[in-house]
Amino acid sequence: MPETGHPSPSYTISQLAAEFDVSARTIRFYEEKGLLAPRRTRGNQRLYGRRDRTRLRLILRGKRFGYRLEEIAEMIGLDEVDPDEAAQIRKSLAFGERKLGEIHERMRELKLMEEDLRSVAAKLRRRLAQLEGGAPEDA
Amino acid sequence: MPETGHPSPSYTISQLAAEFDVSARTIRFYEEKGLLAPRRTRGNQRLYGRRDRTRLRLILRGKRFGYRLEEIAEMIGLDEVDPDEAAQIRKSLAFGERKLGEIHERMRELKLMEEDLRSVAAKLRRRLAQLEGGAPEDA
DNA sequence: CCCATAATTGACGTTAACGTAAACGTTAAA
DNA sequence: TTTAACGTTTACGTTAACGTCAATTATGGG
């Protein structure tokens, strides 16, 4: 069995909290909801490894797209699946397909939002030019 | 003064609700929060026009990206701005720039999520092939 | 060993975004 | 004109996602 040589870095809760700019409470809350499962020190303090950190990143990323924690849990495959059950795997694959569809839809929508913002900005700039040109403040 | 010829279509609350698959309560709620301002019939019932409908679409789009209603209000420029105040317009423009930045960041993240989903799916498919090939059920 | 930080659990509080129910007015079709 | 379906306001309820104590324990440097 090959040794990796990398003992997997570990983080305290406040280190992770600082890195991702969330509160420690938030991170504990995600654990309550079954989204994280860090190891503990003998003193019972949470110890987060590389996987936990990655997972937290995914959670926060999902949140930024308006997914609820419950959905996020599904997306990272935490409902997991007796590995014996091929049917379950097929179900997960179907789920993934749907999510991919949603993602593409989101991409389209982002482009629309971008256009919207640009046109609003253009309108504002015209208004601004008008104000500055037409009525030059009191300079 | 030119007539458009298009009298602007109008919708009842339940028509909009059905079209966008939200409840009427939700639409009224958006109005409470100052995000919509439909006209009324003489009977005091809400009557939504083209603009209202567009705005609702924008609101729901924003929501799908995890923006709160308050932020959405800003984004569609509802904090508006004494049209006399060039400074306010500049502020709005700066706000728009930030939002555009966020949108680009979101696009990057969407691509990352897509990759994540694809790699999870690939893993599942390998597992599935293994299950089906290695232990062919009981067929 | 001591003390300042940092962490833990538990409990209750808060906020956004609606849901739900009641009591009543409006509309449109028969 | 009646009446079923639709809409209105008011008010209270609910849920997700944390915030905020408080009381207790762990950790690490001097």
Residues B42 and B25 in one domain: yes
Q: Is the CB of A33 under 7 A from strand D?
A: yes
What mean pLDDT is reported for chain B? 86
Beta strand pairing call for A39-40 and B39-40: unpaired
Q: How many CA atoms lie within 13 A of A137 on its CB side?
A: 8
Residue A44 domain-assigned (yes or no): yes
Q: What is the longest distance spanned by two Cα atoms in chain B?
A: 79
Instruction: Say if residues B107 and A107 touch (Cβ distance below 8 Å).
Output: yes
Instruction: Tell me what pLDDT residue A83 has.
Output: 58
Q: Is A134 on the interface with B (CB under 8 A)?
A: no
Which of B29, B54, B80 terminates a domain? The answer is: B80
Which of B39, B61, B80 terminates a domain? The answer is: B80
DSSP tag of A35: S
Share of chain B above pLDDT 70, in %: 85
- Tell if the CB–CB gap between B110 and A107 is shorter than 8 Å: yes
Structure token digits, residue A74: 């599904």
Residues A62 and A119 in one domain: no
Instruction: Tell me what pLDDT residue B138 has.
Output: 45
Residues A111 and A60 in one domain: no
Structure token digits, residue B16: 């909009």
Residue B115 domain-assigned (yes or no): yes
Dist CA B13 CA B27 (whole Å): 7
- Beta pairing partners, B47: B39
Q: Is A38 on the interface with B (CB under 8 A)?
A: no
Instruction: For residue range B60-108, list pLDDT tens digits in order.
Output: 999 998 899 999 998 886 666 665 678 888 888 888 898 899 999 999 9
Residues A6 and A53 in one domain: yes
Residue A72 domain-assigned (yes or no): no
Residues A100 and A62 in one domain: no
Residues A87 and A61 in one domain: no
Residues A97 and A127 in one domain: yes
As a rounded value in angstroms, the CA-to-C1' distance for B49 and C21 is 30
- How would you write the pLDDT of chain A (139 residues) with one tens digit per residue? 555 556 678 999 999 999 999 999 999 999 999 999 999 999 999 999 999 999 999 999 999 988 999 999 988 866 666 656 788 888 888 888 988 999 999 999 999 989 988 988 898 899 889 887 765 544 3
Residues A54 and A92 in one domain: no
Residues B13 and B45 in one domain: yes
A18: domain CATH number?
A: 1.10.1660.10
Instruction: Say if residues A99 and A75 touch (Cβ distance below 8 Å).
Output: yes
pLDDT over 70 at B135, yes or no: no
Measured to protein CB atoms, the chain D nucleotides within 7 Å are 6-9, 16-21, 25-27
Residues B33 and B76 in one domain: yes
Instruction: Tell me what pLDDT residue A79 has.
Output: 60
Neighbours of A132 (CB within 10 A): 12
Residue B45 domain-assigned (yes or no): yes
Dist CA B114 CA A43 (whole Å): 39
Residue B11 domain-assigned (yes or no): yes
pLDDT over 90 at B123, yes or no: no
| Residue A132 distance to chain B (closest CA, Å) | 8
Instruction: Tell me what pLDDT residue B139 has.
Output: 37
**Looking at A66-114, which runs of residues are DSSP E strands?**
none
Instruction: Say if residues B132 and A86 touch (Cβ distance below 8 Å).
Output: yes
Question: Which of A78, A66, A132, A63 has its CA nearest to residue A105?
Answer: A66
Structure token digits, residue A22: 């969330």
Q: Which residue is nearest to nucleotide C20 (CA to C1')?
A: B25
Q: Is B99 on the interface with A (CB under 8 A)?
A: yes
Residues A52 and A101 in one domain: no
Residue B16 domain-assigned (yes or no): yes
Instruction: Tell me what pLDDT residue A138 has.
Output: 45
Q: Is A129 on the interface with B (CB under 8 A)?
A: no
Radius of gyration of chain B (CA): 23
Which of B44, B60, B80 terminates a domain? The answer is: B80
Instruction: For residue range B28-50, list pLDDT tens digits in order.
Output: 999 999 999 999 999 999 999 99
Q: Is the CB of B99 under 7 A from strand C?
A: no
Q: Is A124 on the interface with B (CB under 8 A)?
A: yes
Question: Which of B69, B82, B80 has its CA nearest to residue B30?
Answer: B69
For residue B76, give its domain range. Answer: 7-80
- Tell if the CB–CB gap between A89 and B114 is shorter than 8 Å: no
Residue A76 domain-assigned (yes or no): no
Radius of gyration of chain A (CA): 23
Q: How many domains does chain B have?
A: 2
Q: Which residue of A has its CA nearest to B95?
A: A121
Q: Is the CB of A36 under 7 A from strand C?
A: no
Size of the A and B interface in Cβ pairs below 8 Å:
105
- Tell if the CB–CB gap between B64 and A109 is shorter than 8 Å: yes
Q: Which residue of A has its CA nearest to B100?
A: A114
Residue B136 domain-assigned (yes or no): yes
Residues B59 and B114 in one domain: no
Please give the full DSSP string across chain B, using - where no structure is assigned: ----S-----B-HHHHHHHHT--HHHHHHHHHTTS---EE-TT--EEB-HHHHHHHHHHHHHHHTT--HHHHHHHTT-S---TT-HHHHHHHHHHHHHHHHHHHHHHHHHHHHHHHHHHHHHHHHHHHHHHHHHS-TT-
